[in-house]
Every structure is written in structure tokens, then in C-alpha cells.
Structure 1
Amino acid sequence: MSSSGLLTVRSQLCKRLAHKYLSRTYSSRPSLNEVVIVSAVRTPMGSFRGSLAAVPATRLGSIAIKGAIEKAGIPVEEVKEVYMGNVLQAGEGQAPARQALLGAGLSLSTPATTINKVCASGMKSVMLAAQSLMCGHQDVMVAGGMESMSNVPYVMTRDIPAYGGLRMEDLIVKDGLTDVYNKFHMGNCAENTAKNMQITREEQDAYAISSYNRSQAAYNSGLLAKEIVPVSIPQKGKPDVVVSEDEEWRRVDFSKVPNLRPVFQKDNGIIVLLYISFNNQTIECKRASSRKAKTRPMSVFLAFADAATAPIDFPIAPAFAVPKVLAAAGLKKEDIAMWEINEAFSVVVLANVKMLDIDPSKVNVNGGAVSLGHPIGMSGARIVGHMVHALKSGQYGLAGICNGGGGASSVIIQKL
């Protein structure tokens, strides 16, 4: 799949909110800066080897960065630094984040860092940018994530055998989707969670279908269009092809759902392909922070937290990050109007809703990765950017995402 998104962030002294958030930790001290999001965009997400397969991750990142800066009305020279999540970097060339910012027309003097925290990479880049802004290290930053899973290469070891042929490995699986501790696909971790939490095949069927229906409704309402910047693909001797809509949610055939076979455990498994977020060639969810934005700030960045558990239990890791981020913001779960829990698998959302005892009607109300796609380097930034557009004034939104190795990240924002 393919996509990118950007969040634009600005910082100012925390005088206005210091008294209100004095009970918070890092985000409440009067000496820290307030961080606001002034724009949030992404490219469309294409299906695996689909409409965006010809566009490399770094180019998708450039399109999203440029779109976010233009929407914020920030001069490019005001952007002081760029953080970009990107997991599957093989074959992309040196310093992918640097390529993306230069492709967007930013200044040669703008530093860049590429972040890899597996599926949480895009969110972690946003968190690190917010931290830098809070501390006054920078005042305007762009942060997000990018991935083009359609362009990930195969590899073979240097130890070429004298005879017997060569073994090629798919880096999507090797570097992105394999639990290196248990030596199996992360889908087996999802199977383990489903069994431990007693989450049935029927519950996962219903959730996956709901994700597609919610994505379709969000598209029909025009909500998703607010966060998307189109991608123009040059053609030889023909007009450019312009991709402006997500691709995957249209391709489902619900009549086939009951007969789908388990993917990871053939004999007794219950995880089927519909429950997996498709490999999108997506790119960025970025944040640009700016004091000189011409547009009104959209949201305040309130708090962030990481957590970790056993690698095999990565699907439930958000349940450990959420209490930490709520405590950091001085909020209760009842204060949250909108929850975004990344749909790496349907069971991830179902398990975390159960463990946290939260209202499922407030979770992923406009669909998620099962129906839209999960380009792993950008998904964490995408769900933050989506909340920026979907929340109503004054409402709090909480986004959480698990990552391979047993980790998770979570953030809270408030719509202005």
C-alpha cells in the first residue's frame, strides 16, 4: 500500500495552560513550551502493488511534507528539523528522511532523522518532535512516517553456496513482520492473543467487516478527503495519473468472509487475511510545528507514553501504554471522546478494548488499518493526524499503536 501524512506543530511558552495542566508531568511544567498541531495531511494509501506501486517511499514522503507545510502556510525556511518514521529502508538509499525533506523543497540546512520503532515509528517520530519543541530545542518541526511496501526488495546472504541454489528472503517478512524472538510471523502472536483472550473467529469477522463499513462511511462523508493530498504519477507520452483516494477499502468481498481459511495456523488458527491490515505503500503522517503558521492551530499535543511487554504479547502492549499516557495528561478514560487503536489485526483492537474496558463505540469510528492499510512506518502518525481532523472542538483523542518486540506508543491530543 502507499500513503503519507503530515502533522504540523508549533510551540509557544506554556503560560496560558500552565495553571490548567500543573498536575501533569513533562507536559505541564511552566518551563516547558506548549506544542500545537497546525496541519496534518497524508497521501492516499494504495493496495500492495497497486496504484502507487511506482512511487518510492521517499517521494511519497516529499509529497506529504510539502502538502502539510503549504496547508499550514509556513515558509519552508521556518522548518527547523524533520523526523520521519521508516521501517523497511533497504534499497531506499542513504538517509530516507533527508531525501524526503529535500524532495519537498526544504532548505539544505534542515537536519533530518529517520526513526525505526517498527509499527510505532511514525508515532514515535511525532513524540520525539513534540519533546524537542517542549524543551525549546526547536520551534518548528515536521514529523511523521513513510513506507512503500510495494517496493521492498528481496535479499540473500553473502555466503553463496558452491552448489544447491540460492535462498531469497522477502524483507517485508524478515525485517517487518517476523517475531525474531520466537522465529515466527507476528500473525502467530495474534493467534496467541486471540486464544488467551478467548476472542472468537466470529468476533473478528464482525470487527473486520465493521472496519470496512466505517471506512466507506467516512469516505462518503468527505471526512477522509480532508487529510489527503493527491499523488501525481508521470506517464510516458500521456497525462499524469492522479491518485487522490485510498484504494484498499473498495476491494473487499464480504461474501467470501465466512470461507476464508486461517493464514498462520492451518489446523486450529482463527486469524484470516481479512483480519490483517494490508501492506500499504504508504508514506507520511507528518507534523510541522510553527509559530509563524498562517492557519489557526488545530490541536494541542498534551501527552505521550511508551510501554512494553513480552514480544509474543505485542498485540496487547497498548493496554500498558494507555494508563501511562492518561496519567501524564491528568485525564481519565471517560474523558476521551475518540480512541484510535491501530488495527494491525482485528484481535489487537478487540483485546485492548476488553483489557482497558473502554466503550467500543468510541474506537476507530472511521475505520482503520484492516480496511485502509498499514504501511508500517507511517501508521502511528496517520492515526494521530486522523484525530486532528475528526475530533470536535474541546474533545480529547487518544491514539495507541503496538509494535514488534512487545512495544507500544500512545499519545493524547485536544482539538482546539
Structure 2
Amino acid sequence: MAKSAFSKNDIWLAAGVRTPFSKVDGTLSTIDAIALSVPVVKHMIAELHGGKPDFVVWGNVVPSLTWSNIAREILMDAGVDPAVPAFSTVMACSTSMAGVIEAAGMIDGVSRNLALVGGVDSLSQVQLGLGTSLSNWMRQFQSARSLGEKLSHAFDLKLQDVRLFIPAVSNRTTGKSMGEHTEITAKEWNIGRAEQDQIALQSHQHAIAAWEHGFFDDLVIPFGDLRRDTIPRKDTSLEKLAKLPPAFDRISGKGTLTAGNSSPLTDGASSIWVASEAGLAKLPPTLPRVKLIDWEIASVDFRVEGLLMAPPYAIPRLLARHSLTYADIHLWEIHEAFAAQVLAHIKALESTEFIKTKAGVAASFGAFPRDRLNPNGGSVALGHPFGATGARILSQAVKQLAGMPSGQRAIVSICADGGQGTVALLESA
């Protein structure tokens, strides 16, 4: 799937803010998705000094029965002008990046010039549900008009109907978790434990360095007493990572994915601006901004291909459309769902056969520049609140790229459950 019908240089991204990210059942565990999002939205709206966005797109992956359009609920709680339309979106880990693509397609340069986009998830606030049979019984029981009808209906309840629905981080079609699928990919692509741990170590080292150098100071706002991400570990090492047991394949003796080289379940919210030239003029001139040049969405049959392997299909198509090679991309931001998945993507991108037979692109793009990958840390170290990750990665890329010379380019890539992925091409002004 190629980009929407906006013309070159019409769409800009300006860096947004996010909450600190915290591991599941940690510092943010008592805060639901709406409450996590409200301070982020308030901060973004305050940047407009009395103005307002033309519309809002907000993403959320973990479902809740207490809301259907979380975007609208957040705006109401944040005190935003109720005349601002808001809708929710979802595409697993690509959710808020998909929201950016949706917003870019809606901006027309006339009546729609500025969109606030973001996403959130609280993996600590997962609502359990009733099984379908029990839900139906409960609804019918409540609608009974008399005590006799209720008692009669009570005897209709069967023990096997009394089941709870517990949401899981797994694919509905296969029943396998993301980690179980990625273990398969790691074995198919011959991805070893040591190289996974090396990616994880670099992610933590880069994240810690970025925090210490102030890179995140204007990208992360305080949430209560929490001032920074709780997940990056300054004291981690290859030796410590090597001691961790396999997390998803504990039986075969060949499992390589661990808690250390996989992204943790995380709580947090993030945001970003999407604008036309006119919309950009409403934002503070100090905000980092870059051009959204193009995008690509790919989807593969995950019953045959790797569940998280769609981006290597999308990236060559996107680059070929602009006659670019890997060396022409000065910044690579690849979502680290798992270190093994990142390494599998790189191996696929360096395989001429894969690019030709799978991605359908007859071109050579050169060696992948690993030294340009995730310079400020990735999801393994920073965390991965599903709905928030897209806006987090894009804002991070916008700030990094905006500080580079004019004409420099970035690729931002996110894999998603369901065998899908989103990729964006950015350029500094």
C-alpha cells in the first residue's frame, strides 16, 4: 500500500511529548489509559496559546468496556474545546503511526491544517471480561421482569458457561504469543542469543546516554513524581543479559528470547503534531519539525511468513520509489519489539533474494548501516506501550533528524501483530 494523495512537502511532523514509560505493575500501574493521556494532551494544547487543532486522532490497543472512542473521552477530560472532532484508531504496535498516516491523508491545507495525534496503553489496567455464554446469561437474567423469572433463569446457568475472558498478548488466529512467533523467526533466520543481547545492550546504553545528555528533556513531561523512564538500566551488561533464562521457548533448549532482549509490557502515553504549512505556523517555532515525504504499509501472511516481518517488505518498496539506497538514509528508527526481530529485519534487508522474491523489488540497496540505528535507544530499553509506541518513535526521530543538515533522511519502521507493518520516510528541512 503506497502513500495517500498529498503532494511532496505538504505534510510536516512536529515533535510531541510523552509521559515517562514505566514497566507493567510499576509506578504508573494505578493510572488508566485516559488519565495517562490527559496531561500529554493538555501540554500539547498549551503550545497553541489559545488555539486548537482541527482534529485529533488517538490510538489505544488494550480494549476497555468503559469507553468506545477513547480519543473523545480524553479531550473531554483534558478540557479541550468540545468543537474539536476526535476519533480513535488501532493497528496493534503501529497504532499511533497509523494515526499519523490517517491524519496526513485528512489534512487538506484549507480547513484541516493541524492534527494532534497520539496513543496510549496501560498494560497494568487490563480489564477482564465475561465469556460470551456468561455475558448472554447475565444480560437475560437482568432483563427478567419478576423474581420467578430470575430464579427460573438462574437454573439455566451451566458450570461450563462460567468463564472469564482474559486478554492476552497473543495472535488470535494462531494462539501463539508475539514472543513465541519471534522465536520461530529467530530460528528461521539463524539469529543467535549473543547478537540479540548485543542489540539489547546497545539499546540500554543509547537510552541512558540520551537521558544524561538531555535529549529527552523536551520530549518527556513529568507525571506526578515520575520524571523519567524507569526501564533503561545503566548497570546492565552482556554478562548479566547472558544469565537470563529463555522467556518463550523453555522446552527445546534452543530458546534465545529473554526478558532482557525483548521489549517489556509497559504503561505510557505519547503524542505528535501533523501539519500543513499553515498548521505549522500555529506551533512554537522552537519545536523540532521535519517533512513527511512518503509512507508504506505492508501486510504478509503470518501463517507462512514471520508474524513481525512485514517492514522488510515495505522498506525496499519505499526506497525504490524514491531511487534511494540504505546509505542515503541518515537515521534509522526501527521498533524493537524484540532484538531478534530487528536482526531478522536487517538480514532480510541485506538479502538480495528476499528483496526480489518477497518484496518484489529488483534493486540492490547496499549494506545496512547499523551505526545509524536507534541512536537514542529503542523499545527494548525505553518500553513499549502498544498504542503509544508509534508517536514515541516518530517524535524521537523528528527531534534527531531536525538537528541534522537540510536534506538528511530518516526511515521509521514499526512491525505489528497480524503480519503488518508501517514505514515512513522523513526529511530534514
TM-score of the two chains, using structure 1 as the length reference:
0.84
Q: Which of 178, 182, 187 is the equivalent residue of 1:190? A: 182
Change (3 A) 1:396 1:92: farther
1:344 and 2:337 aligned: yes
Residue ranges of structure 2 left out of the alignment (5+ in a row): 135-156, 351-367
Q: Give the match for residue 279 of structure 1.
A: 265
1:163 and 2:159 aligned: yes
Deviations 1:71-106 (A, max 9, x none): 4x35343x1110111111214523111112223332
Q: Give the match for residue 247 of structure 1.
A: 230
Q: Give the match for residue 86 of structure 2.
A: 112
Q: Which amino acid aligns with 1:249?
A: P
- Paired residues of 1:263 and 1:273 also in contact (CA < 8 A): yes
Q: Give the match for residue 8 of structure 1.
A: none
TM-score of the two chains, using structure 2 as the length reference:
0.81
Q: Give the match for residue 53 of structure 1.
A: 29
1:260 and 2:251 aligned: no
Q: Secondary structure at the match of 1:225?
A: coil
- Paired residues of 2:201 and 2:236 also in contact (CA < 8 A): no
- Paired residues of 1:33 and 1:134 also in contact (CA < 8 A): no
Deviations 1:236-267 (A, max 9, x none): xxxxxx21200111387545422222222212
Q: How many residues matched? A: 376
Q: Give the match for residue 347 of structure 2.
A: 354
Q: Give the match for residue 201 of structure 1.
A: 193
- Paired residues of 2:291 and 2:428 also in contact (CA < 8 A): yes
Change (3 A) 1:346 1:266: same
Say which structure is richer in strand. Answer: 1
- Paired residues of 2:208 and 2:234 also in contact (CA < 8 A): no
Q: Secondary structure at the match of 1:37?
A: strand
- Listed as ranges, the matches of 1:23-34 within 5 Å are 26=4, 29=7, 34=10
Change (3 A) 1:91 1:252: farther
Q: Give the match for residue 84 of structure 1.
A: 58
Larger Rg: 2
Q: Percent identity?
A: 27
- Listed as ranges, the matches of 1:1-400 within 5 Å are 26=4, 29=7, 34-71=10-47, 73=48, 75-77=50-52, 79-134=53-108, 138-160=112-134, 162-163=158-159, 166-171=162-167, 173=168, 177-232=169-224, 242-250=225-233, 253-254=236-237, 255-268=239-252, 269-289=255-275, 290=279, 291-295=281-285, 298-312=289-303, 313-329=306-322, 331-357=324-350, 358-391=368-401, 392-394=404-406, 395-400=408-413
Q: Give the match for residue 9 of structure 1.
A: none
Change (3 A) 1:184 1:25: closer
Q: Hey, what's the Cα distance between the residues in 2 that align with 1:63 and 1:252?
A: 31
Q: Hey, what's the Cα distance between the residues in 2 that align with 1:163 and 1:327?
A: 59
Change (3 A) 1:42 1:406: same
Change (3 A) 1:335 1:134: farther
Q: Secondary structure at the match of 2:421?
A: strand
Q: Give the match for residue 236 of structure 1.
A: none
Change (3 A) 1:136 1:200: farther
Q: Secondary structure at the match of 1:34?
A: coil
Change (3 A) 1:335 1:74: farther
Superposition RMSD in Å: 2.4
